[in-house]
Amino acid sequence: MAPSLPSWRVTLGLLALILLAATLRARHMSEPLWVDELHTAWVVEGSLADVADRAAVGNQGPLFFYAQWFLCSLLTPSELTYRCLSLVAGLLLVPTVFFVAREICGSDWAGWTAAAMISVDRFSVIFSCEARPYAWVQWVTVVHLYLGWLRLTASYQLASKPSPRLRLAWIGSGALLFYLHYTAALILCAEVVAWVVLRLRYRGLARPDRSLGTIDLVGLAVVCSPALPHLMMINHRRTNWTEFVPMPTILSLLTLLPLLVYVGLPLAARLTESVTGKEVSRNRGRAVWLTMLCCCLLFPLLVTWVTTVSGMAALYLTRYLIGSLTVSVLIAATLLGRLQGDGRRWVTAIVLAVVVLLTESAISFSRWVPANGAWPPFLHRSGVRAKQEDWRSLISHVNEQDPAGRWPVFLVPDLIEDRQLGQSQAPPLHARISREEFCLFPLQGCYPLRRSRVPPVALASKPAVLQDQHLDCLKMARGGWFIVRGSRSRVQGWQQAIDKALARDGPGPRSELQRFGSLGLVRVQSLPIQ
């Protein structure tokens, strides 16, 4: 085992990395919420009794939102309030991966590599600044896998077995991971695959210990079983996900997550060292750990790819595989920690340099400038168009221009759920939440509209047609607002549809379009607001 650094140096080093991570993340905390975060704000905006139902409509478990509700009940709701839970998880992840990698690998180098990579990893920065549970999924994944490793190593030791406390901690962390986000069940299933692989590789496991493992798995399944009705409801909607999850290619297995850098370079260096004869002593504990990590990386990646390509369920999305991304960082740290001499310094330096280059957009993240349409490179490269929507400025503009709230507001939300708005045969979204109420959530959370007369109305995004009752409402109010979310062509299509409807009665007022990022605000005015 490599000698450890003095505790004061470890403390200073970790504080420096945490400060670096906080600096990268803090610059994003005050930016406008995007549509997924607006859903979080809507969920926690109501009473505690509403949280579970509102989270369920968005295909989310309630655990994270309960914590968010309690936080917002103590603090004034704001972008920082909604995101600070994720920021805490993102910063906790830095020392957690350090101590886990150092203990398992017996190398300070492995710990520092893991902590440095997770501090500047682009996706970790993104999810640490979102009012969603993915940063906590990352942290709990590391803790749960560490507890699973302790449990397995205890099982493989002679005259030893995992303690009841350790087994309960493993079950509890697994349930916590599952209820934070249901897609984290892929990590739990991958653990079972790892157990099978290890059982075939190491046949020294006694039958009583195997029985304990079965009991623990059954216990975990029982704890997670209350979510089955919600999972069945989500399963009925699974075809909707194809609208925002693109069809993957074979090459995307290497490109969706930065595996060529995080796993490819360290693995190539490790294999090169083995060929040249610089082999370190084998360690069963590290072998068990690497087996677990490889299964938790490959199994979710392959399963989501297959289900997406086959049309079973479109799950091949980075945020649904965020646990596997964290696993890839631990694999890199484990492999680099086993390198010897100057080789590991050079390879680690190259890996970290590439990680920093991949994260360049996060490091150079500038503030939004909605007035002239300039958006930070971070948002353009993140692959999430919705993050370019400046809801805060748009709603503030509407409230300033129409302070009395007399003009009607029509929202084209561009949500999967709005496709059946206005259809009498459309199935209800939830027993206690109407489809119309859900589609209006962007206007009911962190950035509320001031309306004194007419409440906002949600319109189906396709086709772009203005109904007669909506046109009558515009005429009675002598004006109105249309908030259109979607692509540039969709915004233009709605403006043309509005102008066409206004032209039915002869020459008259035309609409005016103003953009707030990729959001479109169409203003219709026949007479000044009185």
| 3-class secondary structure, 525 | strand
Q: Supply the pLDDT for residue 10.
A: 87
Examine the pLDDT at 450 and tell me if it is beyond 90.
no
Task: Report d(CA 54, CA 49) in Å as an integer.
Answer: 10
pLDDT digits (tens, 9 = 90+) for 396-435: 999 999 888 889 999 999 988 888 787 766 677 776 888 8
∠ at Cα 190 (96, 66), nearest 5°? 55
Contact 407, 54 (CB under 8 A): no
pLDDT digits (tens, 9 = 90+) for 215-274: 999 999 999 999 999 999 888 888 888 888 889 999 999 888 888 888 887 888 777 766
More reliable by pLDDT, 155 or 515? 515
Which pLDDT band holds residue 291 (cuts at 50, 70, 90)?
A: very high
With 0-12 / 13-18 / 19 or more C-beta atoms within 10 angstroms meaning exposed / middle / buried, residue 356 is middle
pLDDT digits (tens, 9 = 90+) for 175-208: 999 999 999 999 999 999 999 998 888 765 555 5
Task: Report d(CA 446, CA 43) in Å as an integer.
Answer: 11
With 0-12 / 13-18 / 19 or more C-beta atoms within 10 angstroms meaning exposed / middle / buried, residue 383 is exposed
| Whole-model pTM over 0.85 | yes
- What kind and span of H or E run contains 436? helix 435-439
Which pLDDT band holds residue 509 (cuts at 50, 70, 90)?
A: low
Residue 217 has which token pair? 């798995």
Residue 78 has which token pair? 């704001």
- Any idea which residue has 């993102």 for tokens? 90
Cβ neighbours for 360, distance < 8 A, ≥ 6 positions apart: none
What Cα–Cα distance (Å) separates residue 349 from each residue in 116, 219, 359? 11, 44, 15
Q: Considering only 48-52, 88-92, 161-165, 430-434, which range has the smallest mean pLDDT?
A: 430-434
